């Protein structure tokens, strides 16, 4: 017996797009095509039927010294309302142990509305931590994260190289924040020495060359160690050129984030510029064009949000120098509708490419495919019924994040999620999140193949 049928929408599957019904039983997709009688039905005429999005880059978990404004409960509520049904959060190595970071993540994610997984940020690549990698991978935690921009990455380069080897052996994907520490530190010191500490100098403190140098170094490390690496939040034309070149030599994936698709460094002329501070900074309009082209031509594999909002007052606190402004913005709820509106409607990317970069590719890269990221028989019934005609203006007050501003306040978009299902359960319907905290489940990640 079919429990739920979604009738008459334009369904985007791995094989293409067609008008079809989608049948759901036992939380999974049980049929696509002409499906028979069902206990419940949803009419999706005139709607798009898409797989739930998979965001490989969020910061919803706490650390011993930091509790995010959008914790798992708030952040995953925003995610669900935006059609993101799986969130991967960073967790941090704790007291030397990677496992302890994951355990904290599991406790925090006990309030998640969305399904979830982790990347473990490695701040101390000691022998014991490296020895933990294989067991974590066999428990489904097949992801690490390394901040190349941290001074520790420079001081402990050999240990990080060994960590990447351990990741390669065990099949853990290594997410990397690619900005060169030495360049950023030198620029920051120069600016401080000449009293140029205002937010308008933030872009100069983290130039494109810092990103490019780190991307090249990450590719070299991937080549030398055999690790699969995932370069997060790439922002510039030159970094994408380096990524494209690197893909010929090593297992390298590239992510961008919404900020680099919609805004330029012109934002930093505003009095409230700090609201858009993220690392790396906003770039030139030529970089924005390159990021769109890279998304369309496959140089970039995914769009991840790097969701980590801070209240206006924290971003705009008086007297903060550019390097003390808490980095990051809200993005989970607007990820899909903005990329549809600015990407698909504006004919910069196709609908199938949108599904690829927001759902299929991230699921594949993170070892969750085809359980997540596809509308296919046997996949989890994570489904977005999307109204391509819905017109909205983005206002923070209407969104589910705990943040009191949105980086795209006032943007007019066309297209918005109407109904969202997670494992066959309706979790969002016509503006309301119905899901309860704690319903989200860990998605065990398969090791990345050699
Ligand atoms: Zn991040």
Distance 296 CA to ligand 1 centre (A): 23
Q: In a 3-state reduction of DSSP, which class is residue 37?
A: coil
Ligand 1 centre from 311 Cα, in Å? 17
CA 176 to ligand 1 center in whole angstroms = 10
Residue 58 Cα to ligand 1 midpoint, Å, equals 6
From ligand 1's centre to the CA of 230, what distance in Å? 12
**Residue in 321, 323, 345, 315 with CA at minimum distance from that of residue 406:** 315
What spacing in Å lies between the alpha carbon of 439 and ligand 1's midpoint?
Answer: 25
User: What separation in Å is there between the alpha carbon of 42 and the centre of ligand 1?
Assistant: 37
Q: pLDDT grade, residue 392 (50/70/90)?
A: very high
Instruction: Quote the CA–CA distance of 104 and 110 in Å, as a whole number.
Output: 10
- The pLDDT > 90 percentage for the chain reads 98
User: Is this model's pTM higher than 0.95 or not?
Assistant: yes
Centre of ligand 1 to C-alpha 120, Å, is: 12
Q: What is the DSSP letter of 340?
A: I
**CA–centroid distance, residue 306 to ligand 1 (Å):** 4
Neighbours of ion ligand 1 (CB under 5 A): 306
Give me ligand 1 centre to Cα 330, in Å.
12
- pLDDT-derived band at 322 (thresholds 50, 70, 90) equals very high
Closest CA to 363 of 435, 445, 273, 431: 445
pLDDT for residue 334: 98
Ranges of beta strands (E only) in 52-136 are 53-58, 84-92, 115-121
Coil, strand or helix: which one is 140? coil
- Sequence-ordered list of residues with C-beta below 8 angstroms from that of 237, at least 6 positions apart, any chain: 208, 286, 287, 289, 290, 291
The label of the residue with tokens 């001074």 reads 151
For 48-95, the pLDDT digits (tens) are 999 999 999 999 999 999 999 999 999 999 999 999 999 999 999 999
CB 121 within 8 Å of CB 147:
yes
Q: Do 62 and 71 form a contact (C-beta atoms < 8 A)?
A: yes
3-class DSSP state for residue 86?
strand
The pLDDT tens digits for 141-190 are: 999 999 999 999 999 999 999 999 999 999 999 999 999 999 999 999 99
């Amino acid at each position: 017996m079919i429990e739920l049928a979604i009738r008459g929408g334009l369904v985007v599957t791995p094989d293409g797009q067609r008008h079809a019904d989608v049948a759901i039983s036992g939380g999974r997709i049980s049929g696509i095509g002409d499906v028979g009688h069902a206990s419940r039905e949803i009419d999706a005429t005139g709607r798009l039927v898409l797989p739930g999005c998979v965001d490989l880059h969020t910061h919803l978990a706490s650390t011993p010294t930091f509790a995010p404004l959008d914790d798992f409960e708030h952040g995953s509520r925003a995610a669900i309302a935006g059609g993101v049904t799986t969130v991967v959060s960073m967790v941090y190595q704790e007291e030397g142990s990677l496992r302890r970071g994951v355990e904290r993540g599991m406790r925090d994610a006990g309030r998640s509305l969305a399904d979830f997984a982790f990347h473990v940020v490695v701040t101390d690549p000691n022998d014991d931590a490296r020895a933990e990698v294989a067991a974590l991978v066999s428990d489904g935690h097949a992801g690490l994260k390394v901040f190349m921009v941290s001074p520790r990455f420079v001081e402990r380069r050999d240990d990080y190289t060994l960590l990447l080897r351990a990741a390669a052996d065990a099949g853990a994907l290594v997410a990397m924040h690619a900005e060169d520490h030495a360049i950023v530190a030198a620029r920051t010191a120069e600016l401080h020495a000449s009293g140029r500490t205002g937010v308008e100098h933030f872009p100069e403190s983290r130039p494109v060359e810092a990103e490019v140098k780190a991307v090249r170094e990450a590719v070299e490390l991937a080549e030398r160690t055999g690790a699969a690496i995932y370069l997060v939040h790439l922002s510039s034309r030159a970094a994408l050129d380096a990524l494209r070149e690197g893909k010929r030599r090593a297992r390298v994936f590239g992510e961008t984030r919404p900020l680099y698709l919609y805004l330029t460094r012109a934002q930093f002329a505003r009095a409230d510029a700090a609201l858009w501070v993220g690392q790396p900074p906003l770039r030139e309009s030529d970089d924005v064009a390159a990021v769109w082209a890279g998304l369309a031509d496959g140089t970039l594999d995914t769009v991840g949000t790097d969701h980590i909002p801070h209240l206006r007052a924290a971003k705009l606190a008086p007297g903060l120098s550019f390097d003390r402004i808490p980095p990051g913005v809200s993005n989970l709820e607007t990820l899909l509708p903005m990329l549809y509106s600015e990407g698909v409607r504006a004919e910069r990317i196709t609908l199938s490419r949108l599904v690829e970069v927001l759902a299929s590719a991230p699921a594949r890269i993170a070892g969750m495919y085809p359980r997540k990221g596809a509308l296919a028989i046997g996949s989890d019934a994570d489904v977005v019924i999307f109204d391509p005609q819905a017109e909205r203006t983005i206002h923070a007050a209407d969104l589910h994040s705990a943040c009191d501003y949105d980086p795209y306040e006032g943007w007019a978009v066309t297209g918005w999620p109407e109904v969202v299902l997670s494992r066959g359960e309706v979790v969002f319907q016509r503006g309301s999140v119905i899901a309860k905290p704690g319903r989200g489940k860990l998605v065990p990640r398969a090791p990345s193949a050699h």
